Amino acid sequence: LCAIHRSVMCRVRSVLGPTWVCLLLVIHASYVVADRKVKQAPKQTKKPVDKADELRLAVQGAHKASPKVAAVRLKRALESARRANAAPQLLQEAEEALREMERRHEQVTEARSSLELAIEADTRASLSRAIEVGHSVGLQGSVMAKALEALKRHEKVSREADRRQAKQNRTWQQLRDALSEPVDVDR
């Protein structure tokens, strides 16, 4: 029972019942196992030896990590590499990666604002264009979800209007057909 005292377990059993006690023990055991796995896991000691290695890792991580985290790491590594007089080619590569990240950030910000404007405009064409731009820059999140939901709503309304129009056209066609048929009065 690990660190749980017997008298405490008796009180818990009397209050909750034996089923709940078993459930608590299973939960506690799973936490103990998870804690042991975390403690036994090898520590990540992947610290770069010099500033050039740190900058290389930051440039590689710029494409993998979240944009904000990658930008902060890259800026920090770039400054420390400049102070350590790293290779000019490496500094240039890092500056290009940083400019690319800033450009992507501007594109995402622009796409997000166009999505917000399209949601406010609430027209099918503007929503379609803004969603297309958002997909092209890899935009995700609540603004994109709202725009997709608004576009689905517009498509649903459009389909319903098309169905009503088709039904109305069929009714008029049936009426025209009925009127164009010769009427036999002798019947």
**Sequence-distant (≥ 6) Cβ neighbours of residue 126 within 8 angstroms:** 117, 118
Return d(Cα 138, Cα 107) in angstroms, integer: 10
Tokens linked to 93: 């590569």
Tell me the pTM: 0.52
Q: What is the pLDDT along the chain (187 residues), one digit of tens a residue?
A: 444 445 555 565 666 666 655 666 666 566 555 556 555 555 545 554 577 777 777 777 776 767 777 788 888 888 888 888 878 888 888 888 888 888 888 888 898 899 999 888 888 888 899 989 888 888 888 888 899 999 999 999 999 999 999 999 999 999 998 888 876 766 5
For residue 59, the surrounding DSSP H or E stretch is helix 51-61
- 107: three-class secondary structure by DSSP: helix
- 87: three-class secondary structure by DSSP: coil
